[in-house]
Structures are given as structure tokens and as C-alpha cells.
Structure 1
């Protein structure tokens, strides 16, 4: 595939241009005739994602809202994706980030989206860990930026990604959703970011939450994942008048193809038959405004926030429900409070509740006169029947007054009096705590509780107990395990005081080591576990979880260090071969000749030695030695080592990607998404690699020597985490098709807890190595908005400062003055500063023609010349004391 060239976007350029403010001494050039921006930068809908392309699966919906409902839609992207792959060229780091920004702006433009805001946070690498992302992005500082953007753009609706740690879910995506959710609440809180006017968005949605049929029925006949949730489907089969009658699904697909750097340029067309096109699904996480539960119109998600709610309530009316507790018990009473406010008087307002059959409600619901923007509340007592079964249910509310009516909804979860659940993974426990603190408890409970267990081994398993009643409870906990597993003891007694929590533990053993491991075992890799807890008067609590078997290996010590030459000589690798042919992502291998592999691992006093033999019938792209990174783009081997076998995420592991050959002839290696990613010789001193590639081509062999001192910590010889992956590409477009390996689940490259376990009998770690990894060396080089002409042009047009930061104060700002002079392929301009800082000037006409960084010592006017003579001059000023100012001028000969 050809390297991506950034096109000249003349129409968009003209539309974004805003002339510099006039001055008495320097009259500005005339405003471009096509200067039509949103002016104040205000939005109706804001989508929040982590990387360019995160919005790509929602563009059908966002585009429909813009075209059919007249919504002004914008995007906030936390990073510019500089840590991702590049199927279009060799750019990486900030240059790749700016390339991906251009892709994103052109992609979303196809759906009518013009404003894209960036926070300038670094896209460091793929991880499933939200805590790691929070540390790298500085959660508090990032939240402040998101709050500022929300208050500046004033969206009525916020749409974001999935915040829960579902399997394979990127930690950056989870954190973007957390930031969006927290900002939804914090933007309305005057205690947060004082001095910037507050704003309360009306509704908050996360992506996903249902499955449904193809065709227009997908918007009404879907099945919600959570029966108590408010879920919407927006059909992509509607035709877009602005796009020549194409379906919105096709418009979305054409937008996705713009992401050439991510290998999306070859995506096929959407189905031509609208009846084969499905829906985008969204789950309401919170609402402050009245809406109609059950409304399935394409713009139903905008009701009450952007569009008036059915029922005639005045615009700006707020109506919502809160519950005393999300978890309730059968027969136990709980409170529900209705909250109402309105800018106009609503006399004799009254709230009412609709609850499931058999439930009772007491409380008058009288609110009196609601008005003046002040909140009035009415509290109800709700009681489920003693026979209510466990599960989530919806409670709907109605607000009625002489001036109109409206609805809302919330949910609760009926739980047994005493519950017992398999201990959560650290990431799940972290998420559950966040959801409770943030006020979004209904977002929990969708991640299956799973624990890993080495094949043929034992582990301790904890069951967490909670007593939701006002009296002490006692009973037993039993683990129900499938054939091939045993628990000791068979059951455990417990006693819990009123309202308290506790736990019991079991030793669980895989008694049948012949059971398949990884995703080949059980149900997609999960062997079911049922936790049965007695102790209440009704049916015992039964909760489900799973055990995941990981493969194990004993690695014998080598008699002598293998020669690192890409070949296996007799006796070099005394251990058993590991089967690396199991699929974990992508297209299944057509045959063993298409893609299959074996691995061997041994060790000496100083190093691990790894040999991987790969069968392959079609070579992928041969990259240059200067492009030895992002190894998943072509044929490659990846080695993952978790020295202590206990890492929560890969920042405390060693991961290396090895290309069997480059255009320079030999192999190369790098470290990726681990404790210290980067070029191999720099980040793994002493590591050596070699490879042989068969001619004619039938595959290759990779061999590596990894010094123990290159690992982030000393190896635990009883349980070192280990995984070997093979990436197979049969194309020349720098995209992979198949991923196989030893311990295999989707996304497993970021899940060290699901890697295999290796024992090194007799191994003594070299002296001086730590038993816990020190803090990781994380990438920090992010693309900056001051270096992005497109971001500067947008900021100048909307008045919303760059990167979610404040505006430069009048006492310390700068702007272009007068008309730039164009001559001999260069541009000379003057700009006036009122204080010290740094200016970043760019000439841009769809690509950067010239750029210059200028240090400003103090107030004054100066003249600057830089290359380039067409398009637009974009200048960002970063005040020394904080804050930015952006100005632009159109260049004319």
C-alpha cells in the first residue's frame, strides 16, 4: 500500500479560518468568504474517546443526529494515537500522532463533525489496565482538562466508550470513559475548577449494551445486556441526503477507511441491502432531564437534553430518580427520591413511580410548585415482595404538572440477604470501587469473575461475602466445580454480623492435567464455577464465575549455552517443545503450512534461551531495520516474560518482538508495551537474536538469548510467567491476519495473569536483582496541540483554548497583527506579545510547509519569516505562566 500523503483540504481550511482581531495600527486582511465555523465552539453532543478512530464505530449515529436533528456534534480525543501502529509509513511518536489527527479530522468530517479537541496525553501502548493509564495520564490533571472542555463546549449529551474492564478492553478506552463520566458530574460542581462557569450535561451514554437483529427492527427488537438499563439502538440503514442517499453505515465505513495508518484502508463496503445493516447500541449511564422510557426514535437519546421531552415540560426542566441503595433485598424496604427543577413555574407538581408487579410504593410524591431553577424532591418507600427473585429491575418515574409531564428511569438490583462471589481480579475490584464512588453502580456486574490456574496445579480461591440485612447471619459456602477440579474443603461455614462483609477461602486443584488449557478448554476457555451461599430464609445465593487453565512447563537447564544462530543443534534445548499453533486472534490458519509453530525454552546461569520454529507459506511485508517496531504488522515472534508470575499489567513484565528479517537482511528486535519499551539494543542490553528464513519460503526460525539482568525483576523459579506468540501476515500492507501462541485468549498479550507458568528447577537469580519491579520507564513523548496547525486553526475559530487548558491571560498573550507578506516561497508576519512565552508558527495548506518555534522574552512586536507561502498561517502562543492563545491569517500572494 502506498505511503499516506496528507491531501490539501481547501474547503475545510477556508471554513476554519478566522481573521486576527483588528488593531488601529494594523488593519486585518478581509475575512475569507467561506469562514463559517460554530463561532463560540458550543456543541450539542460530545463524544469522548482515547485515540483517533475510537469514534469510528459510532459515526453512523453521530452523523444522523447532525443531519436529521440538527445537532452540533464534536469529539474529544485524549491522545493522538502516537503509540499505535503505522501501516502507511515509518512515522512514529508525535509525527504519527499528527498524521492520525489529520485522519481523524477527515474521517469525522464525513459525518458532519468539525470540532475535534485533544488533551495532548501520550498514547503509550496497548494495556488492559486502567490504573496504569491513570498513572501515566495523571488522572486528576486529565479530568480537569475534560471538565474545562465540557464547560467551554457546553454539550447537552455526552457519549463515551465502555468503562468496564471487559475481556480485551483497552485500558485507555476504560480511562477515557471514566474521565467522561466523572466530567459529566464534575462540570456541574462549582467546587471543581472554580472560575470557569459550570455546565450540567443532560444525559450520559456509554457504547454497547445490547444485541439485536439486522434491519430496522434492530432499534426495537434488541435484547439489553442488563434488563434494568435504558438502552437505545440507532439503525445504520437510514439514507443520508447529504451523502447522495448512501446509508449511514456506508458513510461510516468510508470514514473508517480514512484511517489508513491503522490498516483500515481496505475495509469492504457496508451491505448494500439496508435490511442486512444493524444498529449502534448505547446504554444510558445517567440522566438529569426528563425523557420517555421506551422511546425508540433515532433521536430518542437527545430527548429532554437537546430536543424537548414529550409531554410539554419547559426546556431546561430537570427530572431524575436516585435510590438509597443500588442493591436491595426481597421483602426489604428502600427509598427512591424524585428530583425536579424547572426554570419556569410548575404548579402542583407531583412525582409518581412505576415498579414491577407485586412491589409496593408509599409516599405522596407531592412536590409543590417547582420553579426558579431550585430543586424540589419527593421521597418514596419501595418494597419488593419477599418472593422477588434476584436480578436487575427498572423503576420508572413520572412528573406531572399543569404545564406538562415527563418521565425518567433508574434501576436497582435485587440480591439475596447474604451473597458470595468469587474474588475479583484487581482490575475488576478497582472498577467496582470507581463505579460506587462515581455514582454509577449499574455499570458494574458485567465482568465475569475469573481466576487462572496452572494445569495440574492448585491455588487458593477466596469467596467474598456480604450480609445485606440488619441481623447476624450464618451458613455455608460451597464451590461447584466441573469434572477435573476439586475444592478442599468441600464447603466452608461462615458467620457475619449485620451489614458486614467477610470471606472464606478454598484450595482448588486441577485434578485432571489432560484437560485442554487456554481458549481450547471449557466454554471459550472458561471452566464454570458456581458459588452457593446459604444463610437467608429464601433460596440460597448462587453466583457464577470461571476458572481458566493456563499451560505449564518445566524448563530444564541447558548443559551449555545454545549458539545464537537461528538453528537448533542436537542437545541445545533439552526441554519439551511447546505447541504455539493455537489461535487467539484473527483469521484461523488454513493449514499447518499456512501458519503453525513450536517453541523451546531453556536457561543457563545468566540467561533464558528461546527458539521458535514457524511454518508459513506466504511472507508478510519485509520492513526496514529503521522500522523495527510495532511487530504485529507483519510476520514476527513475541516473547512475554513475567518474572514473578504475579503482574497485574505488562508494565512490570518483559516483552520483546522479533522480526525474522528486515530489508537489510538480518533480524531485529524491540521491546513493546512492557517495563521499558523501545529499541532492543538500548532497552535489553546483552540480548541477542538470530534467525534463519527458508528458501524457497516455508517459514523461519527465531532464536533469542535474554539475560536475566534484562528482566525487570528476579525470576521466581517456581512460577515464572511465560508466553510465546506468533504473528502471521500474508499481505504487503503492513497488517496482520492471524495470531497464534502458547497460552491463548483474545487480548492475552496485555493479560500477564493469563500467560503460561514455567518452572526453572535449580535456578538461582543473579545477585542484586530486585524481587519486585521498580517503576516502569513509560513513554512520555506526546504530540502537542501547539505543533498542530489544524488544532490551532480550530482554536482560533472557536475561541476554545488548546488541549483542554486555559486561555493565556491578557497580560501575557500574543497574536498575529497585520497582513502576512508572501514572497519567494516564504511568509513574513508580525505578531504582538504582551508578555513572555513561546510561539509556534506554521504555514499549512493540508501539509506543513514551514514551522518555527520562537522564544518571546517579553512584550513587543516582532517580525518572523518561515518557509511556505500558501494556505494559512497558524500561530499558537504558550504563555510562560500558563495558557495558550491561537491566531490565524489566510495567505494570499
Structure 2
């Protein structure tokens, strides 16, 4: 997120003209606007996201549109973020979802957004897979298009002129974000088709509705900064599509603060996600303040065309995305979608005659294999080896894998409760070990992943499985740690992982793995730096990145068939939310986008 700084600003005629150009096509004809203005469900702009807080980096835009042109905005949030972290408590699952709904409603209200529609779909652990997310959102006995049907119904009920959503492209972003973008694009097209979900028209008495424009957030666009950023024509270099911007440095007429500052105030309402630790004041000078960028996917109700650049030798995830773009009538979205993955690192885990003692110390002869050096993967770069650096060693004894990770660190992170917070390892200093038994997984639901806290409020370490084939207690895994103190200079973590715990029999020539270190340097349960043996983007959630670990001499026992993933799919319900129930009564839009009686 960009850090913005407020400064006095008097809008020029140029900026006013640009704003009019940008929002003009959002406005309905006068007669339509008058009719819709009497409809309590109507909104001029409808944002579609996956989780509470997905809209927050667009709130300066929505606030300006509301104040300058009277253009209302509403939000569809497909889940309540039940699978996310909690930086201020131990609630998880549906109770956490209810807290996040309150945060979201409070935040978006600062930008003049009144209605937030939840689809009551389950949020589970962090994944980079849109297909896995779609499966979770439409699990039996629901039909495979249940989420899409609900979203089409909400578009027909709220009659927006513009739909804004998330980037549907697959690389390096949450699978829920990708799936929200795909669903919004499909619903944008189908809401106008009377043959799509015809019961909504014949029985529920909705009318087909054709929005004019479809925009996608473009957080990674490197456009110009300053008040004139919205005035310059821009094009996304990957898709070839036009990009439009809204400058958050303009001041609100209501209170004189910049919209960047109002957006920051809103972001700090999402305290469960650690956003409460963001600086209270925006400090970026206006001439360095970038626009909020949006790719124009469709206008006039039709996709904006662009040249198509095909890619060969696509991996499964990217081939599936390419096929979706063709069905959606926007094949150019697949341009350069698959990155140039680097060569996988590789090593061997030698077999040792005597099992290492799991005590947090590298004993003589326990780890004869090569030392693996971890390097920066995400977050702030370390301020030298003493700030954060790490190495790992791997060995095997019979049917057990042993991993020893030595971490140098100059400042201790939050001390968490082993009983309630062990699975939230990425909120503080921790180690994560990921294993793909066959080396061919497309997402982590067919892998094993364990997060290890080197220290807890009980003194010793704890371990839990996270975002893998069976998230929860890491039964059967043995861990130990040694932590330096007075002064604190780091820790060593050692783990014994029975290969029988992996979701399939191990292929000794194709096992892939990653070892990651999270460095916090803060007591507020937020991360700072991340290191990994295989340090490419998506290191913790993209098995395509992980390195190969050969197991010389290993023969897996027979009788270990692949195990299906168990996903935590409890979702909070709108029927249990007083705010959602009251909104439904006021707008007439059924709870969770369900059918109208």
C-alpha cells in the first residue's frame, strides 16, 4: 500500500475535467437515474471482492465519486474472511467473520458506502488457486454456479452502471481475489442475458440488467504520480488494455482532508488484519502520490479488445486460466499470465544410520548433507545478516524426514499462546516447512505444510499444519527449539516429520519442498521480512516454486494412496448479522444474494 501525505490542494480545471471524464460514463441517463434513485437497492457502482478489506485501496476513489458527482457505491463481499488471521484476538471461523463484517462496514462508511452484500461463502486458508476457491464456494449440495447465480441476482437487484472488481489474473495473488474477478466478469455479462438464470426473471420478477463498464483494480500498475496522473492516457503493458486512475491527493469538500488520509483512516479500522498498526498520518508528498489504478475490461457493456499473445508450455493453473479467458470473451487477459519461473533449487537429503535427536541442536553427524541458505523472498529486506538470516539442513532416517533451521535475528517478535495462536505463525518469528510428496501439485491442498513457533508464552515451541491437505494440529510431528537470550540473537528449530503424514506416497526423485522463515521484529503481531530456500514470488503457496529434495536409497512403503483435502469451510451467516438483516429489510435484497420470495 502506498503511504500518502496530506497537503493543501485546490482542484484545477484540468483535474475537474479528468474526473468528469473518468466518472462520466458511470452516470446513468437522467430518467434512469431518477427511477433508480427511488429504489433503495440501487447503486451506481458495485464493487465485488472476496474478503472484507479487499475494497480498501479503492475507497479514496469511491469517496470522491460520491462527493463530486453523487455517484453511489455498494460492495459485494463473497466471504467474511473467516479463514484469515486475527491480530487482536483469538477468534477464528464464523466469530472472526462477524468481527470482520463490523470492521468493513465501519471502514467503507467513511467513503459514503452504505450497503455491503455478503454471499456467505466460506473463507479458508491462504491459497493461490482460483479453481480450489471455486470448489470451496460451490460445494455440494450447492450447484457449481451457485456463487455466480447469487452475484447475477445482486447485479439485477442493484442495477449498477459500473462494476469494479479484483484482478482475475493468476500469478502471485490470492485465489479468492482471482475468483472474485472471474465471477464479476461472468456476472457482468450474464446479468443482461434473459436466458441466464431465467427463474430470477420469470419467478422472482427481476429484469435483465446490462451494466456499462467493468473495471478491475490494478495494484501493480506503475503509472505516473502526482495530481495529473489521472490525466495521462495509460495502458497495461501485460494485457494491452487501457488503465484509468483517480488521484487520492484531492481534498474532501466536507472536511478538508485528502482522500488518501480518509482512506488511511478507513484502513486502520481493519484491526484484525493488522492494519491498525499503519501510521495514523499519511506522509507522502502530493507530487509523489500515485493514482488508484483500474484496468478497463469492458465499456458500453462489451469487452474492450486488445491484441492476444499466446504462451506455450503452460502449466495447469495457467492453461485453466487461459481457457476461462476465452470463454469470457477476453483472451488478452491471459497475455504473459505465466511468469518465467526460475530453475528450481535442488538438494539431497542423505540417509543417516542413527536418528537425529530432536533437541534444537545440530549434533555431530546428524545432518551430513549440504547447508541450504535462505534468501529474501517478500517484505522488507533484512538490514544485514544480524537483522535476519537463516540456513537449513535436511536428513532422513528410515521413513522420517528431519529438518534443522538456524535463524539469526536481532529482535524478538510477539510471544503467542501455543494453545490458541500456534497456527498463526506468520504473525511473528517462525519457520514454515512445505513438502509436496510427488512434486506435481498445482496448489497446496495436496501438500504438507507445518508452521513452527520457536517460542511461545509457555516457553517452548509449538507446531501446527497450515494451508495444506489437513490444516490443524500437526499430530505426529516432533519439534524442539533453542532460543538465545540476554541478548536475543535468534533461534534454532528442529523438526521430525514422518513421511507417512504426507498426503501421498513420496517419490524419492521428485519430492519438492520449501523452507521459509518469517521475521517480525514487532510485538504487534505483524510481519516484516520473509526468507525462503526457494525465494520466488508465492514461495509459501505456489508449489511450482519449491525446490527438489532427492531421497537417495528411499523406497516408500506400499499402501499409501493419495488423501483428499479437508478444508475448513464453516462460514458466518447473514441471518446471524443484525446489520445484514436490517440492510435486507431496507433494500429488499435477500440475505446472501438468495432468491426473492
Normalising by structure 2, what TM-score? 0.88
Residue 659 of structure 1: CA displacement? 0.5
Alignment of 1:848-887 (within 5 A): none
Task: Tell me the equivalent position of 2:579.
Answer: 790
Residue 606 of structure 1: CA displacement? 2.1
Q: Helix, strand or coil for the counterpart of 1:152?
A: helix
Alignment of 1:352-363 (within 5 A): none
Larger Rg: 1
Residue 448 of structure 1: CA displacement? 4.4
Task: Tell me the equivalent position of 1:188.
Answer: 192
Contact between 1:213 and 1:222, CA under 8 Å: does it hold in 2? no
Residue 446 of structure 1: CA displacement? 3.7
Residue 442 of structure 1: CA displacement? 2.9
Q: Helix, strand or coil for the counterpart of 2:228?
A: helix
Alignment of 1:18-167 (within 5 A): 40-138=40-138, 139-166=144-171
Q: Distance in 1 between matches of 2:514 and 2:236?
A: 33
Residue among 493, 497, 510 paired with 1:706: 497
Q: Distance in 1 between matches of 2:212 and 2:464?
A: 47
Task: Tell me the equivalent position of 2:480.
Answer: 690
Q: Distance in 2 between matches of 1:237 and 1:115?
A: 25
Q: Deviations over 1:835-884 (max 9, x none)?
A: xxxxxxxxxxxxxxxxxxxxxxxxxxxxxxxxxxxxxxxxxxxxxxxxxx
Tell me how many residue pairs correspond in the alignment.
Answer: 545
* Structure with the higher fraction of residues in strand conformation: 1
Task: Tell me the equivalent position of 1:779.
Answer: 568
Task: Tell me the equivalent position of 2:271.
Answer: 260
- 2:546 maps to 1:755: yes
Structure 1 residues 592 and 230: alpha-carbon distance in aligned structure 2, compared to 1, 3 A threshold: closer
Contact between 1:578 and 1:600, CA under 8 Å: does it hold in 2? yes
Residue ranges of structure 2 left out of the alignment (5+ in a row): 1-36, 139-143, 201-205
Task: Tell me the equivalent position of 1:464.
Answer: none
Task: Tell me the equivalent position of 2:324.
Answer: 434
Q: Distance in 1 between matches of 2:38 and 2:271?
A: 28
Task: Tell me the equivalent position of 1:380.
Answer: none
Contact between 1:271 and 1:277, CA under 8 Å: does it hold in 2? no
Contact between 1:39 and 1:797, CA under 8 Å: does it hold in 2? no
Task: Tell me the equivalent position of 1:479.
Answer: none
Task: Tell me the equivalent position of 2:471.
Answer: 677
Contact between 1:584 and 1:745, CA under 8 Å: does it hold in 2? yes
Contact between 1:212 and 1:221, CA under 8 Å: does it hold in 2? no
Residue among 254, 260, 275 paired with 2:287: 275
Q: Distance in 2 between matches of 1:414 and 1:57?
A: 29
Q: Helix, strand or coil for the counterpart of 2:187?
A: helix
* Structure with the higher fraction of residues in helix conformation: 2
Q: Helix, strand or coil for the counterpart of 1:270?
A: coil
Alpha-carbon RMSD across the aligned residues, in angstroms, is: 1.8
Normalising by structure 1, what TM-score? 0.59
Alignment of 1:608-687 (within 5 A): 608-625=401-418, 626-681=420-475, 686-687=476-477
Task: Tell me the equivalent position of 1:237.
Answer: 249
Contact between 2:428 and 2:525, CA under 8 Å: does it hold in 1? yes
Q: Distance in 2 between matches of 1:666 and 1:271?
A: 41
Task: Tell me the equivalent position of 2:307.
Answer: 413
Structure 1 residues 173 and 414: alpha-carbon distance in aligned structure 2, compared to 1, 3 A threshold: closer
Q: Helix, strand or coil for the counterpart of 2:326?
A: helix
Q: Distance in 2 between matches of 1:414 and 1:606?
A: 49
Q: Deviations over 1:370-389 (max 9, x none)?
A: xxxxxxxxxxxxxxxxxxxx
Residue ranges of structure 1 left out of the alignment (5+ in a row): 1-36, 290-319, 323-409, 452-547, 810-893
Q: Distance in 1 between matches of 2:367 and 2:408?
A: 19
Q: Deviations over 1:78-120 (max 9, x none)?
A: 1111111111111111111111111111111110101001111
Q: Distance in 2 between matches of 1:732 and 1:39?
A: 48
- 2:209 maps to 1:199: yes
Q: Distance in 1 between matches of 2:109 and 2:469?
A: 38
Alignment of 1:166-177 (within 5 A): 166=171, 168-177=172-181
Q: Helix, strand or coil for the counterpart of 1:216?
A: coil
Residue 217 of structure 1: CA displacement? 1.6
Q: Distance in 2 between matches of 1:274 and 1:608?
A: 54
Q: Deviations over 1:58-95 (max 9, x none)?
A: 11111111111111210001111111111111111111
Contact between 1:622 and 1:663, CA under 8 Å: does it hold in 2? yes
Q: Deviations over 1:732-755 (max 9, x none)?
A: 100010101211012211111111
Q: Deviations over 1:358-380 (max 9, x none)?
A: xxxxxxxxxxxxxxxxxxxxxxx
Q: Helix, strand or coil for the counterpart of 1:450?
A: coil
Contact between 2:433 and 2:449, CA under 8 Å: does it hold in 1? yes
Q: Helix, strand or coil for the counterpart of 1:180?
A: helix
Structure 1 residues 712 and 740: alpha-carbon distance in aligned structure 2, compared to 1, 3 A threshold: same
Q: Helix, strand or coil for the counterpart of 1:590?
A: coil
Task: Tell me the equivalent position of 1:595.
Answer: 388
Structure 1 residues 641 and 225: alpha-carbon distance in aligned structure 2, compared to 1, 3 A threshold: same
Residue among 748, 751, 764 paired with 2:555: 764
Q: Helix, strand or coil for the counterpart of 2:340?
A: strand
